[in-house]
Amino acid sequence: MHITDILQPCCVELHGQADSMPQAIHRLAGLLAAGGNLTDAAAFEADVLAREELGATCVGGGLAIPHAKSAAVRTAGVAVLTLDPPLECSTPDNVPVRMLFLIAAPADANDLHVQVLGELATLLLDKDLCARLEQAASPEAFCALIAGQEGAATSRPPEPACHCAVLAVTACPTGLAHTYLAAEALQQAARQRGMRIKVETNGAVGVNQRLTEEEIAEADCIIVAADRAVSMARFVGKRLISVSAREGIRDAGALLDRAARHDAPVYRGGEALRANDWRELGREAYRHLMSGISHMLPFVVAGGVLIALALLLQSFGVAQDLIVMMSTVGRTAFVLVYPVLAAFIAYSIGGTPAFMPGLMGGYLAQLGTTTGSQDTWISSSFWGALVAGFAAGLLVRLLTQASRRLPAALENVKTGLLIPACSLLAVGALMVLLVNPPLGQFNEWLCHWLSGMGGGSRLALAAVLGGLMATDYGGPINKAAYLTGTVALVNDQYDIMAAVMIGGMVPPIGVALACLFFPDRFSAEERRTAPQNLLMGASFVTEGALPFALRDPLRVGPACMLGSALAGLLAVLFGCGCPAPHGGLFLIAVIQNPLGFLLALAAGSMLTCLLMGVLKKPLRS
């Protein structure tokens, strides 16, 4: 599919203005609605914002490509917005966004949006084209430039099959833009150098241009530009350069020059490629942890909502069988939280062979299995699952490396019996003998400590967690506080989850109120975002306050943190409880003491609003 097949001039706005990514997406959704692509612009906009929560779609170089599949899309379409001035937001290269492409695909369109995204990412790698697009005199001229570039790419003669001295693999966490941008950058740099290259892309729709055993055997060097785990065992014994997908985009030429000089170590398998870089090891561990948490959260969210609905229906006297069914299903989802967490951490580290021992280790952590009688078992919960996941992944790596010397005739025995059995035995022994006894005791102490905390200590904890939620607006500190809330939730500490959620809701609401009550402190563009920030705050999307914090961190940051801390403290003081980790005010019907929750939210938001009014000076002065 070509971009021009689904891009209309009426869906192109040149030299527009936007103060935040949600505002830009709102304008783009309006263009698609005007072009007849949408049945419900608001619903589609919500789906795009939900996709943005999974990972920002700013790809660097002044470009952003938000996208979503949605039931609110009638026909596939692309909308374009060029910005003057550029939008200051968090981007991979810290370059403000100057041009946005919004891709809309119907819910039943399979991989259409991924195909369009790959095509678009490839075209936009041409910096000269991007410059000409930004200077286009009209929407019709903009579309003509895209059509001309697509025509040139189509007319390029196919490269004859031949020996490729350099092979490459690209991948990113979502399998979308960066995967294809890195691939095109490497191919373009290879053409400039007269080199032959084949690039395997590990995208959202699977693996394209998969490298064969023969190609790998004949290659002089392998370049892996990936931000997530890819199959590495096939490259043992080959010279290998491992970088992030972003480096593959930015430094494609330098990487190929290294490959041509054979300036790369021989990959031995198993060991970290950059083990001497402790910062990189920390980032790798964080990626593996986030992989597990991202797969775990749906179980916590869905299970919590079902349990909360069961409690709500019980108060209305609904049939007992329905209540029992919903509660049982919800609590069963909670039982799977730690096995899923450990399984996907292990899978991220050691691949498919590590999934089973990780899953079993997480289940043993959930049960708290020890050598004692079952009535003495105490779940090691989150902490045990973390150990199980990392241990299983690393152990499978070691076993894979150690079994390389086995005869080829034993390959099936190795993968089908030796590695699964040995890894399960080792992880099981680790959990039962070494991990569960102390961590189970620690977890029991922690639960008793949280349950038995006096008023002052519990209020202090709530205030700290609420404040941390407003520290970096969706960054690592925010996620750490949120993770604390979800762990407390699984252990039935609903008030801690309430403090965490309300702490994340205050910043965008407080900023919106400040725009309404102190309009002379904000620009016209900032004031126009107030309604959107009210909606984002009500939906528990903390990032709505991020543009304000980036422009004025010394005033906005403390105001948001203090307001969130107050809201978290009051939520616990009023006895509020939240049985699900997401939803914001849309969960108000199932929140314990909803009136107290609303009062705490109002108090924290007003404090943020007043502090911003005091700290920020009128723009006229």
For 311-336, what is the mean pLDDT? 83
Asked whether the predicted pLDDT for residue 598 surpasses 50, the reply is: yes
Asked whether the predicted pLDDT for residue 621 surpasses 60, the reply is: no
Same domain, 209 and 71: no
Domain end (from 408, 426, 450): 450
Q: How far apart (Å, rounded) are the C-alpha atoms in residues 15 and 17? A: 7
Residue 172 annotated in active site: yes
Q: Confidence class of residue 160 from pLDDT cuts 50, 70 and 90?
A: very low
Per-residue burial over 164-179, b = 16 or more CB atoms within 10 Å of its CB, e = otherwise: bbbbbbbbbbbbbbbb
Tokens read off for 490: 């699984």
User: Does 369 reside within a domain?
Assistant: yes
Q: Which residue has the tokens 């490959």?
A: 259
pLDDT of residue 423: 93
Question: Mean pLDDT lowest for which of 145-149, 421-425, 542-546, 565-569?
Answer: 542-546
Q: Is 15 left (phi over 0), alpha (psi -120 to 50) or beta?
A: left
pLDDT of residue 159: 46
Q: Confidence class of residue 554 from pLDDT cuts 50, 70 and 90?
A: confident
- Rg over CA atoms, the chain: 26
Tell me the angle at which helices 352-367 and 436-452 cross, rounded to the nearest 10 degrees. Answer: 50
Of 192-206, 241-255, 301-315, 384-398, the range with the highest mean pLDDT is 384-398
Question: Mean pLDDT lowest for which of 256-265, 443-452, 458-467, 480-489?
Answer: 443-452
For 485-498, what is the mean pLDDT? 83
H/E element holding 428? helix 419-429
* Active-site residue identified among 58, 172, 221, 515: 172
For 149-157, what is the mean pLDDT? 61
How many structural domains is the chain composed of?
A: 4
CB count within 10 Å of CB 363 equals 20
pLDDT of residue 297: 74
Asked whether the predicted pLDDT for residue 132 surpasses 60, the reply is: yes
Tokens read off for 347: 């899978």
pTM for the whole thing?
0.51
User: Does 432 reside within a domain?
Assistant: yes
Tell me the angle at which helices 530-538 and 21-34 cross, rounded to the nearest 10 degrees. Answer: 100
Tokens read off for 74: 């009638």
Q: What is the pLDDT of residues 213-265, one digit of tens each?
A: 888 988 889 999 887 667 777 888 889 998 887 788 878 889 999 998 888 88
Q: Are 225 and 168 in contact (CB under 8 A)?
A: yes
- Who's near 43: CB < 8 A, 6+ residues apart? 70, 71, 72
Same domain, 287 and 371: yes
Residue 113 annotated in active site: no
Same domain, 440 and 461: no
Same domain, 246 and 332: no
Asked whether the predicted pLDDT for residue 426 surpasses 70, the reply is: yes
User: For residue 440, which amino acid is it?
Assistant: G
pLDDT of residue 537: 87
Q: Are 501 and 485 in contact (CB under 8 A)?
A: yes
Separation in Å, CA 145 to CA 13, 142, 184: 15, 5, 19
For 508-520, what is the mean pLDDT? 92
Mean pLDDT of the chain: 83
Q: Are 567 and 466 in contact (CB under 8 A)?
A: yes
Same domain, 505 and 363: no
Q: What is the pLDDT of residues 364-406, one digit of tens each?
A: 998 988 888 888 888 887 889 999 999 999 999 888 878 777 7
pLDDT of residue 111: 65
Query: Collapsing DSSP states into helix, strand and coil, what is residue 170?
Result: strand
Residue 211: give its domain's CATH number.
Answer: 3.40.50.2300
Same domain, 434 and 466: no
Q: What is the pLDDT of residues 572-581, one digit of tens each?
A: 999 999 887 7
User: Does 79 reside within a domain?
Assistant: yes
pLDDT of residue 12: 93
User: Does 68 reside within a domain?
Assistant: yes
pLDDT of residue 91: 67
User: Does 270 reside within a domain?
Assistant: no
For 80-90, what is the mean pLDDT? 85
Q: In what order do the strands lie in the sheet with 221-226?
A: 206-208, 197-203, 166-171, 221-226, 240-243
Of 325, 338, 321, 456, whose CA–CA distance to 389 is shortest? Answer: 338
Query: Collapsing DSSP states into helix, strand and coil, what is residue 62?
Result: coil
For 453-476, what is the mean pLDDT? 80
Query: Collapsing DSSP states into helix, strand and coil, what is residue 619?
Result: coil
User: Does 442 reside within a domain?
Assistant: yes
Asked whether the predicted pLDDT for residue 173 surpasses 80, the reply is: no
Same domain, 441 and 493: no
User: Does 272 reside within a domain?
Assistant: no
Q: Are 556 and 612 in contact (CB under 8 A)?
A: yes
The per-residue DSSP string of 461-479 comes to: HHHHHHHHHTTSSSSHHHH
Of 591, 19, 15, whose CA–CA distance to 311 is shortest? Answer: 591
Q: Are 97 and 89 in contact (CB under 8 A)?
A: yes
Of 29-38, 110-119, 184-193, the range with the highest mean pLDDT is 29-38
Beta bridge partners of 168: 199, 223
- Asked whether the bond before 85 is cis by omega within 30 degrees of 0, the reply is yes
For 514-528, what is the mean pLDDT? 86
Same domain, 85 and 179: no
Q: Which residue has the higher pLDDT, 519 or 526?
A: 519
Q: How far apart (Å, rounded) are the C-alpha atoms in residues 247 and 226? A: 9
For 416-441, what is the mean pLDDT? 91
Q: Confidence class of residue 85 from pLDDT cuts 50, 70 and 90?
A: confident
Domain end (from 395, 416, 450): 450
pLDDT of residue 617: 85
Percent of the chain with pLDDT over 70: 88
For 182-187, what is the mean pLDDT? 85
- Could you list the residue range(s) of the whole structural domain that residue 102 is in? 3-155
Domain end (from 121, 155, 189): 155
Same domain, 74 and 214: no
C-alpha neighbours within 13 Å on the C-beta side of residue 63: 23
C-alpha neighbours within 13 Å on the C-beta side of residue 564: 34
* Active-site residue identified among 26, 67, 113, 582: 67
Same domain, 469 and 606: yes
User: Does 348 reside within a domain?
Assistant: yes
Same domain, 284 and 424: yes
pLDDT of residue 247: 82
Q: Confidence class of residue 417 from pLDDT cuts 50, 70 and 90?
A: confident
pLDDT of residue 443: 76
Separation in Å, CA 66 to CA 59, 76, 590: 10, 14, 33
Asked whether the predicted pLDDT for residue 185 surpasses 60, the reply is: yes
Q: How far apart (Å, rounded) are the C-alpha atoms in residues 225 and 249? A: 9
- Who's near 108: CB < 8 A, 6+ residues apart? none
For 547-563, what is the mean pLDDT? 86
Q: Which residue has the higher pLDDT, 424 or 490?
A: 424
For 535-546, what is the mean pLDDT? 81
Same domain, 131 and 33: yes
Q: Confidence class of residue 204 from pLDDT cuts 50, 70 and 90?
A: low
